[in-house]
């Protein structure tokens, strides 16, 4: 998730922090726009489908966040 990635990026050497911050902002902007676009399409199809997709994606985020933190630690 974003908080974990931000923490990893702040551990980079000082000469890379500006580039890491720019990359972080760009990724957040693109993923937010893509999420709004796809979320709008799914919610137009079915309100219940939209919440079901959101629940599955949140569960996947929880699983992948644990794996990512174990791999980095």
The alpha carbon of residue 42 and the mean position of all alpha carbons in its chain are separated, in whole angstroms, by 18
In tens, the pLDDT along 8-46 reads 666 777 787 778 777 778 888 888 899 899 999 999 999
Q: Which pLDDT band holds residue 68 (cuts at 50, 70, 90)? A: low
pLDDT of residue 8: 66
Beta strands in 1-73 (DSSP E): none
| pTM for this prediction | 0.55
Give me the mean pLDDT over the 2-11 stretch: 64
Q: Where are the domains of the chain?
A: 2-72
When pLDDT is cut at 50, 70 and 90, the band that residue 5 belongs to is low
* Crossing angle between the packed helical segments 2-10 and 47-72, to the nearest 10 degrees: 30
């Amino acid at each position: 998730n974003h908080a974990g990635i931000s923490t990893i990026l702040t551990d980079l050497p000082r000469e890379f922090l500006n580039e890491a911050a720019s990359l972080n902002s760009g990724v957040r902007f693109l993923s937010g726009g893509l999420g709004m676009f796809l979320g709008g399409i799914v919610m137009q199809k079915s309100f219940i489908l939209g919440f079901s997709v959101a629940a599955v994606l949140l569960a996947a985020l929880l699983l992948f966040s644990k794996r990512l933190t174990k791999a980095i630690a």
